[in-house]
Amino acid sequence: MTQPRAVQSVPVVELEAVSRTYPGFPPVKAVRSTDLVVNEGDYVSVVGPSGSGKSTLLHLLGCLDRPTDGTYRLRGIDVGKLPDGKRTALRGREIGFVFQSFHLLSHRTVLDNVVTGMLYNRTPRRQRIPQATEALERVGLGHRMGFTPMKLSGGERQRVAVARAVAPGPSLLLCDEPTGNLDTATTDSLLDLFDELRADGLTLIVITHNEAVSLRADRRISIIDGVLAEVDT
Q: Which residues contact 216 (CB under 8 A, 6 or more apart)?
A: 43, 45, 191, 194, 195
Binding mask 128-167 for other proteins (x = CB under 8 A): ------------------------------------x---
d(CA 99, CA 62) in angstroms, rounded, equals: 11
Q: Which residues contact 167 (CB under 8 A, 6 or more apart)?
A: 114, 115, 117, 118, 131, 132, 134, 135, 136
Looking at the Cβ atoms of 55 and 208, the one nearer to Mg ion is 55
Q: Is 24 in the site for ligand ATP (CB under 6 A)?
A: yes
Q: Please, are residues 4 and 34 in contact by the beta-carbon 8 Å criterion?
A: no
Q: Is 22 in the site for ligand ATP (CB under 6 A)?
A: yes
Binding mask 49-78 for ligand ATP (x = CB under 6 A): -xxxxxxx----------------------
Binding mask 105-134 for ligand ATP (x = CB under 6 A): ------------------------------
Q: Is 71 in the site for other proteins (CB under 8 A)?
A: no
> Rounded to whole angstroms, what are the CA distances from 210 to 156, 177, 216, 228?
18, 8, 10, 18
Q: Is 112 in the site for other proteins (CB under 8 A)?
A: yes
Partner that binds at residue 82, options Mg ion, other proteins, ligand ATP, none, CB closer than 5 to 8 Å by kind: other proteins
Cis peptide before 170 (omega within 30 of 0): no
Looking at the Cβ atoms of 171 and 181, the one nearer to ligand ATP is 181
Radius of gyration over every alpha carbon of the chain, rounded to an integer in angstroms: 17
CB of 54 to ligand ATP, least distance (A): 3
Q: Please, are residues 233 and 220 in contact by the beta-carbon 8 Å criterion?
A: yes
Residues interacting with ligand ATP, by CB under 6 A?
Answer: 22, 24, 28, 30, 48, 50-56, 100
